[in-house]
Amino acid sequence: MRTAPAIPRSIAARTTAGTQVAALPYRVTDAGVEVLLITSRRTQRWIVPKGWTEKGSTPSADAAREALEESGVTGEVAAEPLGVFHYIKELKHGVGVPCRVSLYPLKVTRQRRSWSEKAARDVKWYPAGEAAALVSEPELKRLILKFGASLTPKGN
């Protein structure tokens, strides 16, 4: 007798800790550093564009691809990550997968009017401090604050 639905093999393969990449889309304005956040598709939480790496690509290129697909922005992505954060990715069927995410700053040079996931997400620019307050993951909050401070001229 079965008490729980079977988990498809493709999902079961992802139930061990995963490694993802994320972009931290930003721009510098007269008002200071702004960060672009997006909403998650399912829970509508404010997050950064992130996803799984793809074979044959670099982590920074994968982060830039996620930014384009999920938020419609392109720009100059850093070759090295700003740092890492951790979260639990909730998959279909209620499975939670612990993920380690490398965060790559992306200096936005273009924001498209249309992109593949536009209908599924909200996107909004926030001052770095406000963006940090809106995301749930404590390590991501710290990374956003640290990055914003690193681009803010001393004395401001």
Identify the segments of the chain with pLDDT beneath 50: 1-15
Q: DSSP per residue over 58-102, as a string? A: -HHHHHHHHHHHHH-EEEEE-SS-SEEEEEEEEPGGG-EEEEEEE
What pLDDT does residue 138 have? 95
The answer to whether 65 touches 73, Cβ cutoff 8 Å, is: no
pLDDT for res 141: 97
> Active-site residue 69, yes or no?
yes
Residue 155 pLDDT: 56
CA dihedral 107, 153, 39, 5 (to 10 degrees): 90
Q: What is the pLDDT of residue 16?
A: 55
Sign of CA dihedral 20, 70, 74, 153: negative
Residue of 34, 54, 66, 69 marked catalytic: 69
Domain residue ranges in the chain: 16-151
Q: Which CATH superfamily is domain 16-151 in?
A: Nucleoside Triphosphate Pyrophosphohydrolase (3.90.79.10)
For residue 51, the model assigns a pLDDT of 93
**What are the tens digits of pLDDT across the range 21-58?**
999 999 999 889 999 999 998 888 999 999 999 999 99
Q: How many CB atoms lie within 10 A of CB 3?
A: 4
